[in-house]
């Protein structure tokens, strides 16, 4: 499991990146979610890596 935390604003980002954050369950700076560490989530993180921080979750 991994914890994904939104660190930066979506202002000025393309609509596709906003949709990726919304699909991850992130809405505003400081929000965090715990997700399974699978290929789909890794791809989503790769698309918005400049907006989020990722860490291991227990």
pLDDT digits (tens, 9 = 90+) for 18-41: 999 999 999 999 999 999 999 999
Task: Assign residue 5 a region (left: φ > 0; alpha: ψ between -120 and 50; beta: otherwise).
Answer: beta
pLDDT for 50 equals: 96
Give the confidence band of 53 by pLDDT, cuts at 50, 70, 90.
Answer: very high
Q: Please name the residue ranges forming H helices in the chain.
A: 15-24, 39-47
Residue that wins the pLDDT comparison between 58 and 12: 12
Q: 5 near 32, Cβ under 8 Å? A: yes
Whether residue 58 has pLDDT greater than 90: no
Between 3.30.1390.20, 3.40.50.11930, 3.10.310.10, 1.10.3720.10, what CATH number should domain 2-56 receive?
3.30.1390.20
Give the confidence band of 2 by pLDDT, cuts at 50, 70, 90.
Answer: very high
């Amino acid at each position: 499991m991994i914890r994904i935390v939104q660190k930066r604003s979506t202002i000025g980002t393309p609509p596709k990146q906003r949709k990726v954050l919304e699909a991850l369950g992130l809405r505003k700076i400081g929000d965090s979610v715990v997700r399974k560490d699978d290929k789909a989530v890794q791809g989503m993180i790769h698309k918005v890596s400049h907006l989020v921080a990722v860490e291991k979750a227990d």
